[in-house]
Amino acid sequence: MAAMFTTAILYKGKVDATMVFNGAIGGLVSITAEPLAPSMLASVLIGGVGGVLVVIFVPLLDKLKIDDVVGAIPAHLVCGIWGTMIVPFSYTNAIAPNEAGDPSYLGQLVGVVLTGVFVMIASSIVWYILKLTIGVRPTAEEEEMGLDKAEIGLEAYPEFTK
């Protein structure tokens, strides 16, 4: 709902369905970082902010010329960071008092940064191995033919062929 209202405001009354769908995903990603402690109101607020973040970050990535045709970066990365960083706000000791201590914003930030570092290093290693073994780029001929035709033998859009 937050993504729907945001698109309606930003696009002068028009609702962008893809933004709304991605906003729903972003809201779910946002709230799943800490699903046990938040109240119903806090859950709606955290998910709603996630939906709005998706609507804000999709065009921002376009302006930065970052190719993300399905909006996965805002829905998963941005909202995942938001959801992780907001955990201390919604946390209570009512569920598991004195077991691990209360989460802090600094602790959450360290976790986000370390996760980012790990993912960058691990994915760089995997992509490098793929590049050395099977390659990660299609040939010029495959690009010209279309990857749908080259990889699976079908044309996804036959009405646009020459």
The domain limits of the chain are 1-94, 104-162
- Mean pLDDT value of segment 145-153: 83
* Percent above pLDDT 70 for the chain: 93
Helix (H) or strand (E) holding 108: helix 105-133
Task: Render the burial of 14-49: b for 16+ CB within 10 Å, e for the rest.
Answer: eebeebbbbbbbbbebbbebbeebbeeebbebbbbb
| pLDDT tens column, 60-105 | 999 999 988 888 999 999 999 999 999 988 876 445 555 556 788 9
Token pair recorded at residue 144: 């010209």
DSSP assigned state of 160: G
Cβ burial of 118 (10 Å; 0-12, 13-18, 19+) is: exposed
Give 125's pLDDT tier (boundaries 50, 70, 90).
very high
Q: 121-131 burial, b if ≥16 CB within 10 A, otherwise e? A: eeeeeeeeeee
CB 30 within 8 A of CB 52: no
Instruction: Provide the whole-model pTM.
Output: 0.80
